[in-house]
């Protein structure tokens, strides 16, 4: 642990309004490696830090398309080629009857891809993370809000960054050690 | 912001108070005697279910009262009833999320649990009814040595795909909603063992705003996927009936009729669970009178669609001029199960109208009684549909009826026991109210007030 640079500075805020204002200012000062922790989703905060959800949207779309296409092709292949079964001369490729299973598999594919895509893009499961060691971080799941500025940010300076966070009204600022 | 919307939560709740109170129910609250009583009773009934299911698997379906011509009998009544109960959970969690109804927040978690347990129990009844349940995998499409594939034009195969997709998507949706709350429990837990268990289940959730952003997006998209899914599930089940040529089954009103009936009985079950839960765990600040009022209104509107469907069935039978359709209705109204038909009509079309009165909607004892009575009548409705239709179809020489045995009763009451047994476990080990959504709601209310 010792000798390695810290992961960054973690500032605690006591209200949602404060952390949103702080995040906007930090972003305006051109900090990039910034993360925030909140007990519930805060759209203004994710906007301030330019958090993107584009990846998961693609996951859901692709999952649903794969499910639909796979489902339809499976029915077509098995009903027309693998096990052609003539019932009263009806067409083997009876597509209206295939729609329901196609739909169900589209929903299933989209849901599975969305859920697991969300976890994968979030880097979860990851049972431990350096921020958990920071003093008081358990309150991030109760009523406190945290802003983390990582030391890998090119604007990061131990002294000046701490001063900046202090001026933004942080209730407490702690150093987070790297792994 | 109107005063009505504020009353979704009792005023004065903060992030901290909501977090502490709801997580304490799981972590520090001593086991209550009411809970033990419910748990032991339902566990005993669940054992009855296990006994009945084992006997039916080992000896055969002849133990139940099913026979030709009423081959579907009680198991199918139970499938339709149970899956219908599950649907209210999805309506609350998915459709009301898309419609931005703030009152869903306090009840969506246990309603989703209800969905999963009810759908799972519903899914068991077709297996019980199969006769050779170990061959159920014939429904699965996989390359096999017999080079057989499922018959894709069969509603039973659609059903298999619809119900299994529904159960899987419901579990995903429920678990995703639980992840931040499991993290809350992990952070509040005092003992090493609970920290490890909840920590493992929380998958290392740390509340990063970048994570929340993706989380929220996927949650909304899952709700968007679950909404048509839930409508499709009961519609597909109704096609099992409607695709046949049996008078009383062969009807185009069935899909919307079944979906509306599902919502009616599902909301009855939500109320049946919410009332004792709220009382026992002092959840009055989160589950307010307003919730009951709104749920009663949903029951009423779904019930009106059910009544409309009854009317359409009657009208179609008369207007079609088909002697068999007309005969089916005469049999329902005057035949061997006429009493049940009239009870169904009296309750679902008559007693339901009490919900027009605000006094009834906001009186919890009355609503609770009404929910149980209507839910029973909804079971009777499915009995009337499933049994009186096949009882007397085209050939009088083939007429017959069902004679239920104590295995039918054991499976029905036992499945109720299993359901409440699972609910008891859920209440004890997981937060019954979504903690992070309550925090979000408090935040929204504060913002709108300022």
* Chain B residues in contact with A111 (beta carbon < 8 A): 168-169, 172-173, 222, 225-226
Token pair 């709801």 is found at B22
User: Is the CB of B212 less than 8 angstroms away from the CB of A138?
Assistant: no
Give the best-scoring range by mean pLDDT among B187-191, B302-306, B384-388.
Answer: B302-306
Locate all alpha helices (DSSP H) within chain A, ordered by sequence. 16-28, 43-48, 54-76, 95-121, 158-167
* Nearest Cα to Cα of residue B180 among A118, A39, A117: A39
User: Is the CB of B218 less than 8 angstroms away from the CB of A56?
Assistant: yes
Are B295 and B355 spatial neighbours (Cβ–Cβ below 8 Å)? no
A124 touches B: beta carbon within 8 Å? yes
**Residue A64 predicted with pLDDT over 90:** yes
Residue with more model confidence, A49 or B346 = B346
Q: Give the DSSP letter of residue B28.
A: T
pLDDT class of A3 with cuts at 50, 70, 90: low
What average pLDDT does range B413-424 have in this prediction? Answer: 95
Q: Which of B19, B169, B183 sits opposite A108 (nearest CB)?
A: B169
What average pLDDT does range A66-77 have in this prediction? Answer: 96
The whole model's pTM is what?
0.91
Are B163 and B234 spatial neighbours (Cβ–Cβ below 8 Å)? no
A14 touches B: beta carbon within 8 Å? no
Looking at the DSSP assignment, which residues form a beta bridge with residue A37?
A146, B208
Are B111 and B101 spatial neighbours (Cβ–Cβ below 8 Å)? no
What average pLDDT does range A31-39 have in this prediction? Answer: 89
d(CA B179, CA B267): 26
Burial class of B160 by CB neighbour count within 10 A (0 to 12, 13 to 18, 19+): buried
**Residue B352 predicted with pLDDT over 60:** yes
**Residue B8 predicted with pLDDT over 80:** no
* Nearest Cα to Cα of residue B214 among B176, B247, B186, B184: B176
Mutate to test the interface with B, among A84, A122, A139 (most CBs of B within 10 A): A122
What's chain B's average pLDDT?
89
| Composition of chain B by helix, strand, coil, percent to 5 | 80, 0, 20
**Residue B450 predicted with pLDDT over 80:** no
d(CA A5, CA A178): 7
| Composition of chain A by helix, strand, coil, percent to 5 | 55, 10, 35
| pLDDT at position B143 | 86
**Residue B20 predicted with pLDDT over 90:** no
What average pLDDT does range B9-19 have in this prediction? Answer: 81
A50 touches B: beta carbon within 8 Å? no
pLDDT class of B6 with cuts at 50, 70, 90: very low
Token pair 């994710």 is found at A46
The SS3 assignment for A173 reads strand
Are B291 and B103 spatial neighbours (Cβ–Cβ below 8 Å)? yes
d(CA B323, CA B392): 12
The B residues from 337 to 396 touching A (CB cutoff 8 Å) are none
User: Is the CB of A124 less than 8 angstroms away from the CB of B209?
Assistant: no
Given CA atoms B439, B442, B280, B434 in this order, what sign does their dihedral have?
Answer: negative
pLDDT class of B197 with cuts at 50, 70, 90: very high
Q: How much of chain B, in percent, has pLDDT values that exceed 70?
A: 98
d(CA B412, CA A63): 38
Token pair 């709220």 is found at B278
Mutate to test the interface with B, among A57, A118, A137 (most CBs of B within 10 A): A118
Question: Which of A2-11, A61-70, B159-168, B201-210 has the least mean pLDDT?
Answer: A2-11
Cα distances from B90 to residues A140, B114, B169, in angstroms, run 29, 9, 10
Residue B67: both structure tokens together:
């026979």
- Comparing alpha-carbon positions, the chain B residue that sits nearest to A100 is B158
What average pLDDT does range A97-112 have in this prediction? Answer: 95
Q: Which of B149, B165, B187 sits opposite A108 (nearest CB)?
A: B165
* Chain A residues in contact with B157 (beta carbon < 8 A): 101
User: Is the CB of A115 less than 8 angstroms away from the CB of B152?
Assistant: no
- Comparing alpha-carbon positions, the chain A residue that sits nearest to B197 is A127
What average pLDDT does range B87-107 have in this prediction? Answer: 85
Q: Which of B14, B204, B228 sits opposite A129 (nearest CB)?
A: B204
Question: Which of A70-74, B46-50, B357-361 has the least mean pLDDT?
Answer: B357-361
What average pLDDT does range A118-134 have in this prediction? Answer: 89
What average pLDDT does range B10-36 have in this prediction? Answer: 83
Q: Considering all CA atoms of chain B, what is the largest pairwise distance in Å, rounded to the nearest integer?
A: 76
Cα distances from A154 to residues A8, A29, A30, B104, in angstroms, run 12, 12, 9, 45
Q: Which residues contact A70 (CB under 8 A, 6 or more apart)?
A: A105, A109
Chain B: nearest CA to A1, how far in angstroms?
22
| pLDDT at position A155 | 81
* Nearest Cα to Cα of residue B25 among B117, B115, B110: B110
Q: What count of other Cβ atoms lies within 10 Å of the Cβ of residue B302?
A: 24
Q: What is the secondary structure of B58-115 as a DSSP string?
A: HH-GGGSS--SS--SHHHHHHHHHHHHHHHHHHIIIIIHHHTT-GGGTTTHHHHHHHH
Residue with more model confidence, A72 or A127 = A72
d(CA B84, CA B266): 6
Q: Which residues contact B317 (CB under 8 A, 6 or more apart)?
A: B325, B326, B328, B329
* Chain A residues in contact with B168 (beta carbon < 8 A): 108, 111-112
Residue A52: both structure tokens together:
């993107």
Cα distances from B320 to residues A146, B308, B345, in angstroms, run 69, 18, 22
**Residue A138 predicted with pLDDT over 70:** yes
Q: What is the pLDDT of residues B238-296, one digit of tens each?
A: 999 999 888 888 888 999 999 999 999 999 999 999 999 888 888 888 888 888 999 99
Q: What is the pLDDT of residues B427-449, one digit of tens each?
A: 889 998 889 988 888 888 888 87
A21 touches B: beta carbon within 8 Å? no
| pLDDT at position B3 | 42
Are B189 and B198 spatial neighbours (Cβ–Cβ below 8 Å)? yes
Residue B302: both structure tokens together:
């779904």
| pLDDT at position B10 | 74
ipTM of the complex: 0.92
Residue B300: both structure tokens together:
């009423």
Element (DSSP H or E) covering residue B126: helix B108-130
pLDDT class of A2 with cuts at 50, 70, 90: low
| pLDDT at position B441 | 86
**Residue B146 predicted with pLDDT over 80:** yes
* Chain B residues in contact with A120 (beta carbon < 8 A): none
pLDDT class of B1 with cuts at 50, 70, 90: very low
Q: What count of other Cβ atoms lies within 10 Å of the Cβ of residue B353?
A: 13
Q: Which of A100, A114, A126 sits opposite B218 (nearest CB)?
A: A114
B210 touches A: beta carbon within 8 Å? yes
B206 touches A: beta carbon within 8 Å? yes
Q: What is the pLDDT of residues B223-249, one digit of tens each?
A: 999 999 999 999 999 999 999 888 888
A11 touches B: beta carbon within 8 Å? no
Q: Which residues contact B100 (CB under 8 A, 6 or more apart)?
A: none
Mutate to test the interface with B, among A41, A48, A90 (most CBs of B within 10 A): A41
pLDDT class of B2 with cuts at 50, 70, 90: very low
User: Is the CB of A104 less than 8 angstroms away from the CB of B229?
Assistant: yes
- Comparing alpha-carbon positions, the chain A residue that sits nearest to B146 is A83
Q: What is the pLDDT of residues A158-169, one digit of tens each?
A: 888 888 888 888
Q: Which of B173, B214, B225 sits opposite A118 (nearest CB)?
A: B214
């Amino acid at each position: 642990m010792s000798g390695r640079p810290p992961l960054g500075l973690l500032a605690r805020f006591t209200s949602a309004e404060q952390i949103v204002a702080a995040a906007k200012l930090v972003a305006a000062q051109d900090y990039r490696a910034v993360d925030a922790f909140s007990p519930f989703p805060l759209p203004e905060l994710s906007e301030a830090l330019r958090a993107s959800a584009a990846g998961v949207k693609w996951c859901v779309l692709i999952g649903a398309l794969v499910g639909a296409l796979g489902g339809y092709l499976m029915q077509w292949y098995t009903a027309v080629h693998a096990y052609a079964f003539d019932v009263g001369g009806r067409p083997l490729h009876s597509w209206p009857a295939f729609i329901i299973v196609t739909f169900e598999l589209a929903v299933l594919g989209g849901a599975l891809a969305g859920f697991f895509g969300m976890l994968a893009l979030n880097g979860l499961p990851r049972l431990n993370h350096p921020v958990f060691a920071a003093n008081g971080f358990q309150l991030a799941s109760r009523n406190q809000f945290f802003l983390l500025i990582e030391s890998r940010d090119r604007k990061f300076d131990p002294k000046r960054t701490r001063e900046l966070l202090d001026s933004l009204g942080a209730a407490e600022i702690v150093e987070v050690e790297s792994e | 912001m109107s005063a009505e919307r504020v009353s979704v939560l009792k005023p004065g709740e903060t992030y901290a108070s909501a977090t502490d109170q709801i997580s304490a129910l799981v972590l520090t609250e001593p086991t209550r005697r009411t809970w033990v009583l419910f748990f032991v009773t339902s566990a005993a009934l669940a054992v009855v279910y296990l006994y009945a299911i084992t006997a039916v698997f080992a000896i055969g379906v002849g133990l139940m009262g099913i026979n030709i011509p009423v081959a579907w009998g009680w198991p199918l009544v139970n499938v339709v009833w149970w899956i219908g109960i599950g649907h209210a959970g999805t309506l609350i969690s998915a459709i009301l999320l898309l419609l931005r109804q703030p009152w869903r927040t306090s009840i969506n978690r246990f309603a989703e649990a209800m969905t999963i347990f009810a759908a799972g129990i519903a899914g068991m009844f077709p297996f019980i009814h199969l006769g050779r349940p170990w061959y159920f995998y014939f429904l699965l499409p996989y390359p096999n040595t017999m080079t057989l594939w499922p018959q894709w034009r069969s509603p039973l195969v659609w059903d298999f795909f619809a119900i299994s997709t529904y159960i899987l998507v419901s579990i995903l949706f429920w678990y995703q909603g639980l992840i931040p709350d499991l993290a809350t429990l992990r952070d509040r837990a005092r003992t090493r063992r609970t920290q490890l268990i909840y920590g493992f289940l929380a998958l290392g959730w740390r509340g990063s705003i970048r994570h929340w952003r993706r989380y929220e997006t996927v949650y909304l998209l899952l709700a968007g996927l679950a909404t048509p899914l839930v409508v499709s599930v009961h519609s597909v089940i109704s096609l099992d009936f409607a695709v046949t040529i049996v008078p009383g089954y062969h009807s185009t009103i069935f899909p919307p009729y079944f979906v509306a009936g599902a919502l009616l009985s599902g909301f009855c079950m939500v109320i049946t669970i919410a009332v004792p839960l709220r009382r026992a765990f002092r959840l009055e600040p989160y589950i307010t009178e307003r919730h009951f009022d709104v749920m009663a209104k949903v029951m009423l509107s779904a019930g009106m669609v059910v009544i409309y469907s009854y009317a359409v069935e009657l009208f179609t039978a008369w207007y079609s001029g088909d002697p068999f359709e007309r005969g089916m209705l005469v049999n329902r109204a005057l035949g061997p199960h006429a009493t049940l038909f009239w009870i169904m009509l009296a309750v679902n079309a008559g007693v339901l109208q009490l919900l027009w009165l605000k006094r009834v909607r906001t009186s919890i004892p009355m609503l609770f009684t009404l929910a149980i009575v209507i839910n029973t009548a909804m079971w009777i409705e499915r009995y009337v549909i499933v049994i009186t239709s096949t009882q007397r179809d085209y050939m009088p020489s083939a007429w017959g009826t069902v004679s239920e045995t104590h295995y039918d009763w054991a499976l029905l009451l036992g499945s109720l026991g299993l359901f409440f047994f699972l609910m008891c476990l859920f209440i004890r080990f997981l937060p019954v109210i979504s903690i992070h959504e309550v925090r979000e709601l408090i935040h929204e209310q504060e913002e709108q007030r300022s």
